[in-house]
């Protein structure tokens, strides 16, 4: 294995794990306040959010950026 991903905090993190950590940290309401998308604000669930994020690149990118911000706030990167 090469060292190209060793400093990438997203490497090896599944979208489901990332989303679960965000929900644990912010809650659904806090997540919906930060990223205003329907799957976070109206009857939110992990399954519906994963389905939406997997087919919507712009939303997934925003969620990944929020995850990186959360890691910085939590002192994990």
Q: Over the stretch 3-55, which tens digit does the pLDDT of each residue have?
A: 566 678 888 899 999 999 999 999 999 999 999 999 999 999 999 999 999 99
**pLDDT value of position 77:** 77
Instruction: Tell me what the mean pLDDT of segment 55-72 comes to.
Output: 95
pTM confidence score: 0.86
Instruction: Tell me what the mean pLDDT of segment 56-63 comes to.
Output: 96
C-alpha distance from residue 12 to each of 17, 35, 41, 58, 60 (Å) = 10, 23, 28, 20, 16
Domain ranges within the chain, ordered by starting residue = 15-73
Instruction: Tell me what the mean pLDDT of segment 54-77 comes to.
Output: 93
**Which CATH fold topology does 15-73 show?**
1.10.720
DSSP codes joined into one string, the chain:
--STTTT-TTTT--HHHHHHHHHHHHHHHHHHHHS--HHHHSS--HHHHHHHHHH-HHHHHHHHHHHHHHHHHTT--
């Amino acid at each position: 294995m090469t060292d190209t991903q060793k400093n990438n905090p997203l490497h090896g993190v599944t979208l489901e794990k990332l989303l679960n950590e965000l929900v644990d940290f912010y809650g659904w309401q806090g997540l919906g306040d930060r990223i205003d998308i329907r799957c976070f604000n109206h009857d939110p669930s992990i399954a519906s959010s994963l389905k939406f994020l997997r087919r919507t690149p712009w939303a997934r990118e925003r969620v990944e950026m929020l995850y990186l911000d959360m890691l910085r706030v939590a002192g994990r990167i």
